Amino acid sequence: MNTGTSKGLLLGALLFGLAACEDFAGLNLGGATGENLALNNAKLAGGTISLVPPSGFCVDKRSLRQNFALMARCDTLGGRLTTNAPLAIITATTVTATGVTQVSTSDFESASETVLERIDDAPLALVQVKGKPPSPGMRDTYWRGAARIGDQVIGLALYQKASNTDLGSVAPNLLIQTVEQTQEQSIVAAVALQDNSATQTPKPAGRGFVSGLFE
């Protein structure tokens, strides 16, 4: 498989990864849920990605899958009060980076979306697009981004309610912050995992092995 084909399949998986979240449509963006569903971070891709939300955001623990997570303002998930952060939803999807060394904004071409803006000089490739949002109550302009972290590519998307004022430059900055913090913590986690593996006594074959972790 050539690199172009690999990128197309990989980014397609990132774009359609949203379908993994069953609770997306019912997420409350207006206030606390009454139950604390907020997590400060989350492990994706078998623990190789340590997802860290931007300031004021938390991970919705209902949404967690091996390769998917949804983030929202912490107080809308029943967590700490964070009214200084905007009301928005950020999704994260990961796929194995087979044949992909770098992601660029040209990889986000889609017949169902129109690219309105591109940002290539950030820690992740970023595009603002006009298309069909995952919920009819959301703005039809939103941001997508992707970057390689270790042996994974992480795809991020940011959505707002249709009634909310466009966030402007705040939206891409939230995605940039997410990637930078996730990159940093994922490196720390990888080093810790290697150190732990080096000091532990090897287990007998057939024990402690999770089959098909990345399938």
Q: What DSSP string runs through 83-114?
A: TTS-S-EEEEEEEE-TT-S---GGGG--TT-E
Q: 112-132 burial, b if ≥16 CB within 10 A, otherwise e?
A: ebebeeebeebbbbbbbbebe
Higher pLDDT, 32 or 212: 32
Residue with tokens 């700490």: 80
**Model confidence pLDDT, tens digit, residues 78-131:** 998 887 899 999 999 998 887 777 788 887 777 788 999 999 889 999 999 999
Residue 8 has pLDDT above 60, yes or no: no
Q: What is the mean pLDDT of the chain?
A: 78
- Look up the pTM and report it: 0.79
Q: CA 86, CA 170: separation in Å to the nearest integer? A: 9
Spatial neighbors of 144 by CB under 8 A, at least 6 apart, are 15, 108, 126, 127, 129, 155, 156, 157
pLDDT of res. 136: 83
Confidence of residue 18 (pLDDT cuts 50, 70, 90): very low
Q: How many helices (H) and strands (E) does the chain have?
A: 2, 10
Residue with tokens 């492990």: 43
pLDDT of res. 214: 19
The mean per-residue pLDDT over the stretch 6-32 comes to: 51
Residue 43 has pLDDT above 80, yes or no: yes
Residue 180 has pLDDT above 70, yes or no: yes
Q: CA 159, CA 28: separation in Å to the nearest integer? A: 13
Q: For the domain covering 3-198, report its CATH number.
A: 3.40.1000
